[in-house]
Amino acid sequence: MEKVTENIRTIETVLNLDTGQIIYANTFLELGDHIVFPYREKCQDAYKKKREPFLVCDTCGQMVQISGGKGIKGKIKYFKHLKDSNDCPIKTDTKLSREDILRGKFNGQQEGVLHIETKNLIYDFLCLNKETKGEISFAKPEMVNKSERNYLEWKKPDITSVFKEKKLVFEIQLATTFLDVLCERQHFYKENKTFIIWVFKKFEIEADKQRFTQKDIFYSNNRNAFILDQEAINLSNINNDLFLLCQYQKPTANVENIVYEWESKYINLSELTFDEASYKVYYFDVDKAENKVKLEIDKKISERKEAEKLLNEEREKIRLQEIEKRKETQRLIEIEQEELRLQEIEREKQHEKNKAGRQKAIDEEQQDYENKNALFFERLKQNYTNLSPLQIIFNSELNEIHTKIDELFRNGYNPTKGDLGFLKIEYQIELGNYKTSFRNSILYFLSLAIIHTKLKSNPDYLKHLPRIERVLIAVLSIKEKKVIGYSFKTLVEIPNHFYNPKGKIEFAHIILEAIKTYYGLDDFLRIEDKKGILKRKLEEYNIANPIKELSYNQIISSVFKDLKFENDIS
């Protein structure tokens, strides 16, 4: 007998990756079957890999499907995760913490087509400003911004730029995000003297239609919202500069109350105010205007109170009653504030508990890493004495090795002959012992160190290494015919990743050249591409002929001498 469930819609919102829009379950699933079931078919096609992912959970970013069950009032449609999917914070049996929810909301969600399109448009318009007006002196998408106080703390906004010697980042906001994440990001940028502009593709001015994320950003930014709509795009193209629609609330006095009227204007960056006290960016200073209106209202109130002195005893009695009423209201407010204080204490306790849980997970990951690489650590202890600065790094914690290698060479470290011998010998040993691929292997970290030694003589190459590092590791995997430094199980998943339009397709030609050079394309397709997925992607790639990233070819050739490219850019 089918189980009757009061509420089986545990997934309240999903993200449409085709449009970047949020879909609300309680609204969408109540529409007619002629609307819902075509979406169900697209979800099934995505599950069967007949198309790209379509609808994903708004929290964990995994694909969902539309299913049905028996509710109290009859059949009910609902979103659900795929069978055997990974854990998600909103599953009833989840083991994830609140921190995992935050991470799923902001970092785990798949970047939709609309998000990528909006980011690329803003970046292009900033580049036009740089070329024509020179107000923008620097612009780069997806650049890591490290904290000036704590080098382990960093953020990666959609776009990082410099406008009139002011550091300015852009964050595109299309989906929902916890207030914790927004506040933490804004605090980070303020602490590092960086201005931030949150950009919407669409912004609802009707309060009941606004998502909480829109409200959070709007009210924290002096009630200025910036939107890149079609008209803004047109103006940007015409003026060779970034134009945004700014929607803000203009306060006015209505008797003794403040009312807010929505105003809008298309503006460029030169028309904005960059508040160096708060590191907020806005066009209209709502707070300043609001204070002015408040002063006007306060003056009217003062005049009214002066007139009330002339009222009769009955009016005085009413006034005293109102005072008592306000006291009662204040008393209730104080009670509520005390309850909130106690709730905050409880939240702090829960936070400490979650923190301990996260540390346990880190410790378990470290222990697993040490167990899998036990033979290496034994050799390091027995075969190498008086460890060099480079060799010492390999005794570091798992989550520190990558950063320490990069910092060592960025600071001008010159590896000794012993270092080079150590890397060569241990690389060959680990390569020979490497049977099962896993992301954080000693072989991976040895490979990173070797790459750094090959680029150490060119500081500019080291500077650009973070951008091209994953490509270099992919080429190495193909060369050695083993998955190194990736979580993939099979070698063919690496080129499949790069030939995905939503992946790093601008580097796909490099992966193809590596296959031809180190494996042979026909042999690779015959041996590795059993399902023919890569072959189809190659055909689609040749038809689409996307833009190729050629500016890093010399770096790649410096690491892999036998890998040559046509049309190298110096």
- At residue 236, what is the residue type? S
Q: Which is nearest to 10 in space by CA: 73, 93, 84, 75?
A: 93
- Domain 113-297 belongs in CATH node 1.10.1060: no
Contact (Cβ atoms closer than 8 angstroms) between residue 428 and residue 379: no
| Range 303-310 contact pairs with CB under 8 angstroms and sequence separation of 24 or more | 304/256
**DSSP letter string, 522-561:** HHHHHHT-TT-HHHHHHHHHHHH-PPP--TTHHHHHHH-T
Exposure string of 368-404, with b = 16+ CB inside 10 Å and e = fewer, is ebeeebeebeeebeeebeebeebbebbeeebeebbeb
Contact (Cβ atoms closer than 8 angstroms) between residue 542 and residue 509: no
pTM summary value: 0.42
Q: Which is nearest to 277 in space by CA: 225, 222, 227?
A: 222
Q: Which phi and psi angles does 252 have, rounded to 5°?
A: -140, 160
Domain locations along the chain = 4-106, 113-297, 312-372, 383-559
**DSSP letter string, 81-110:** EPTTPPP-TTSTT----HHHHHHHHHTSSP
**In 3-state terms, the chain is what percent helix, strand and coil (to 5)?**
50, 15, 30
Joined tokens for residue 258 = 């403040």
The three-class DSSP label of residue 370 is: helix
Joined tokens for residue 268 = 């460029």
User: What is the distance, to the nearest Å, from the Cα of residue 495 to the centroid of all Cα atoms in its chain?
Assistant: 24
Residue with tokens 């780069």: 140
Helix (H) or strand (E) holding 219: helix 212-220
Ramachandran area for residue 367 (φ above 0: left; ψ -120 to 50: alpha; else beta): alpha
Angstrom distance (rounded) from CA 182 to CA 147? 17
Residue with tokens 């005390």: 338
pLDDT, tens digit (0-9, with 9 covering 90-100), for 376-385: 999 999 999 8
Helix (H) or strand (E) holding 390: helix 389-393
The DSSP 8-state label assigned to residue 451 in this structure reads: H
Q: Which is nearest to 246 in space by CA: 280, 284, 273?
A: 284
Q: Residue 276, class by beta-carbon neighbours within 10 Å (0-12 exposed, 13-18 middle, 19+ buried)?
A: exposed
Angstrom distance (rounded) from CA 144 to CA 160? 9
Whole-Å CA distances, 65 to 34, 47, 55, 113, 138: 17, 8, 8, 20, 43
pLDDT in tens, the chain (570 residues): 445 445 568 888 888 988 878 899 888 888 877 788 888 888 888 888 888 889 998 877 788 888 887 766 667 888 889 887 887 877 766 665 555 555 444 443 445 788 899 999 999 999 999 999 999 999 999 998 888 777 678 889 999 999 999 999 999 987 665 556 777 888 898 899 999 999 998 888 776 665 666 778 878 888 899 999 999 999 999 999 999 999 999 999 998 898 999 999 999 999 999 999 989 999 999 999 999 999 999 999 998 998 888 888 889 999 999 999 999 889 888 888 888 888 888 888 888 788 778 888 888 888 888 888 889 999 999 999 899 999 999 999 999 999 999 999 999 999 999 999 999 999 999 999 988 888 889 999 999 999 999 999 999 999 999 999 999 999 999 999 999 999 999 999 999 999 998 878 999 999 999 999 999 999 999 999 999 999 999 999 999 888 999 999 999 999 999 998 765 443
